[in-house]
A and B are shown apart, each in its own frame.
Chain A
Amino acid sequence: MSAAADIPREGARWTLPAGRSIAAVNEIVSAPLIEHRRWSWRLWWIAFAVSLALTAVMLVSIVWLFDRGIGIFGNNTTVVWGFPIANYVWWIGIGNAGTLISAMLLLLRQRWRASINRFAEAMTLFAAAIAGIFPILHLGRPLYFYWLVPYPNTMFVWPQWRSALIWDFWAISSYILFSILFWYVGLIPDLATLRDRARSTIARTLFGVFALGWRGSARHWHTFHVYHTTMACLGVPLVISLHSVVGLDFAASLMPGWSETIFPPYFVVGAMYSGFTMVILLAAVVRWGLRMQALITVAHFEVMAKILLAASVIMTLSYASEWFTAWYGGEPAERRLVAFAFAGDYRTLYWLMLIFNCAIAQAFWFPAVRRSILAVVVISQLINVGMWLERLTIVLNTLSHAYAPSAWHLFSPTIWDFLLLFGSLGFFALLYLIFCRLVPVVSMHETRRLLSAEAEQ
């Protein structure tokens, strides 16, 4: 099995020689969990301390918000959405991407997903959970958020089912629960591997409990495969509906620049775009931090850069179609809004957004750029910032410059807006750092299959 001649071409493309045997895959992936004394974790602890501090910042901001109300943010009576909703849309976009990427690549039989799907799905769980916090924080009376749940109550009232807020609530909660199942089921065979490799009794017991007694039976594999592919088939429409609903939060309104039919698909592609940038960042960190160079290779970064390039072209077309419909529709408020975006008070944000999302990604046409991990990571993070700016400018431009000129009002963020944003990033990093120490970050059983010549026959 370890002989290079046995490795199928596809397996050889997505691994380095050091990771081209089943034993090597088991060794590389389980080392951070079982033989973690093999290298120094000082940097991990530093990152942990920093993200813990940022999480504390987030918690302090939330406590202050609950005490003072949303007046601590830059929001005003005209720009009622501000940072919290822009952050929500950005986080849910990242939260969308993991399951979308994983499920779509599974359905398209892209076996290279084996190296990235596990941590992309974990990214989904954490980002979607963080996204779900923002609309609640943005409520005037956050303590009543549970009124979105239909339950028999002494007030004899029911949720307003026609409201986009209800759609959000159910779409996000169903999506998070679905993603947990999708992630966990894919994890069961790997937990069994760790159960069988673990040396300490505690680790063996814990992995054993969560592995549910998996024993690799061919009948079980068959049922597992049926369930996993069916979940992927269900996951793709769920993800698309979730981010379409986020798009509809805007499009179902009657605001210039928002009530556009292109919004749902445009938001879905935007989610995939920003989500992939986050996957690239995490791939680079995991590859370097957990010594996974043999399993997460330059070929993975190259193919992800190609996907970013495609998404960038779609995003550019979407922006152009917004400008075109504003001009062609002839509605003065719409035309005024486009002029305001390009030349108004938020023009710097808008131009930066266009440079990051449309222009910079074009560098990926060059193979040399796609094959440089540093270049791919830097460009993808600029796009990630660009996608955050996109959500921010969507919120700010329309609300600051809607139909009635007498109501025009600008938004300027406060320190709390930024503290909550960076605090949430720290919380995400904290969850991620913990995840890396508890669960295998690369799917071992899928990588083994990728490397098995026999499985190909």
Chain B
Amino acid sequence: MSAMLVADFRDAGGLMRAAQWAKSAGYPLADAFSPFPLDGMPELLGGTSTRLRLWMFIGGMTVAALAYATEFWSAVYNYPIDSGGRPLNAWPAFMLFPFAVGIFGAALTGFIGLLVKCGLPRVHHPLFDINGFERVSQDRFMLALHAPQADTDKRTAVAWLKQAGADTVWELEW
């Protein structure tokens, strides 16, 4: 839990400009909230690197390997069917099953990774207590800064956010 200042903006441009100024002024940015993804905002916040694709690759390959192993073991060892001397490990015919389930495995791993990385599902969050936060999923834009410790610094930050175009500034903890 840390104290936050959350400022409300009317448009995406206002939010982007405020985020850029806050960053150059040395205020630590916490997060931004918008009804659609804003290009450049993740870079301003930092932490754009994600291992999601790597995890999807690992998940997909694991599922595909398991699928092939099932085929190999059942067709070669457990229940071999000799059909005119054709190879028991018929790998070209065996590829489709690992391919299809492997892609689904990657998709499922990615979905779980998405939920874990975003901390979802989380149906309640202190932000939802803000009167007006429901507009963020529709047409409003909000910026969250880590609030300065000292009261005077905090007041400066609030005044500064209002000057940058914020309609309202809230103080809350999460």
Residues of A within 8 A of B (CB): 1, 22-23, 26, 150, 156-162, 166-167, 170-171, 174-175, 177-178, 181-182, 185, 189, 192-193, 195-197, 208-209, 212-227, 230-231, 234, 237-238, 241-242, 245, 445-446, 448-449, 452-457
Contacts and interface: CB of A to CB of B under 8 A. Distances in A.
For the complex of A and B, list the 4 residue pairs with the smallest distance between their C-beta atoms, beginning with the closest.
Answer: A196-B134, A454-B12, A212-B121, A158-B74
A162 B110 contact: no
Interface in B119-147: 120-125, 127-128, 133-139
Given A22-B35, A221-B37, A234 B128 contact: no
B94 interface: yes
B34 A221 contact: yes
15 contacts: A1-B10, A167-B96, A178-B103, A196-B137, A196-B138, A212-B115, A215-B125, A218-B37, A218-B38, A223-B50, A234-B56, A234-B106, A241-B100, A452-B12, A454-B11
Given A161-B97, A217-B31, A1 B139 contact: yes
B46 to A, nearest CB: 10
Given A223-B117, A455-B38, A218 B33 contact: yes
Given A170-B96, A223-B52, A225-B37, A195 B137 contact: yes
A161 B117 contact: no
B55 to A, nearest CB: 10
Contact of A454 (B38, B53, B111): B38
Interface string B93-109: 11011011101101110
B107 A26 contact: no
A177 B104 contact: yes
Given A213-B121, A230-B56, A448-B35, A170 B101 contact: yes
A224 B37 contact: yes
Contacts of B93: 161-162
B94 to A, nearest CB: 6
B165 to A, nearest CB: 13
Nearest to A23: B139
B122 A213 contact: yes
A241 B99 contact: yes
Contacts of A230: 52-53, 56, 110
B32 interface: yes
B96 A171 contact: yes
Contacts of A225: 37
Given A161-B94, A223-B114, A455-B36, A189 B122 contact: no
A238 B137 contact: no
B78 interface: yes
B48 interface: yes
A114 B11 CA distance: 21
Contacts of B135: 196
B40 to A, nearest CB: 8
B35 A158 contact: no
B141 to A, nearest CB: 9
B58 interface: no
Contact of B70 (A150, A226, A241): A150
